[in-house]
Amino acid sequence: MKRDTIAARRAGATDDRRRRIVEAAARAIEEHGTGAGLGAIADQAGVPRPHVYRHFTGKDDLDEAVARHAARMLSAWIRPSLTASGTPSSVIHGLIDRVLQWAVEHPNLYRFRARLGSPAAVDELVDALAAYLRAAGHDTRPPAYVIAGVVGMVDAGIVWWLDHPDETGAGALGAWLADQVLLVLQDMLRRIGHPVDPAASLSPQS
């Protein structure tokens, strides 16, 4: 029992150090950009440079952990929008606006997360859309690959805009992306035989 307790404490300490380094790396990326180096990460973590990778298999392992951390941050930020009431258009526009707000506030982390292919949780978005479909009288789940494709489209559009902010305003970009997402989802719902009235006001929590 004593050995098990010691092992559990060591594992907990290792997990805590990993978490602290991941959070430090995220701060370094926010401050210095997606190419933040080992020195910037070590400074943020308050550890010597050789210690940064001690709890990871290497740079790729740390990068993936940071991308997952950023994805969790974004998921938590957009979660309130996943239960909003309204028409399909208003709900989607509200969600995209919230994603854009996070991207504007965390441009480097958004780029980093998108580059490593760690989207906001697709499963959670599928669950949210299924709840809206139930509210519309359809007991079905949308294909996850369609939702993953929509997320990829939004990520690509926002990352491009972050690098070309003079091309259009955030409001215009958000409206365009939301309209495109709505078109994709409407086509998907038609294909699976569960179209939703665009004028319907849906409340997934009811």
Tens of pLDDT, residue by residue over 164-203, are: 999 999 999 999 999 999 999 999 999 999 999 999 999 9
Angle CA(20)–CA(73)–CA(183) in degrees, nearest 5? 155
**Which of 6-15, 36-45, 48-57, 165-174 is the least confident region?**
6-15
- SS3 sequence of 118-139: CCCCHHHHHHHHHHHHHHCCCC
Q: What's the pLDDT band for 53 if we cut at 50, 70, 90?
A: confident
Residue 110, C-beta contacts closer than 8 angstroms, at least 6 positions apart: 70, 74, 102, 103, 158, 159, 162
143-155 confidence digits (pLDDT tens): 999 999 999 999 9
d(CA 180, CA 202): 20
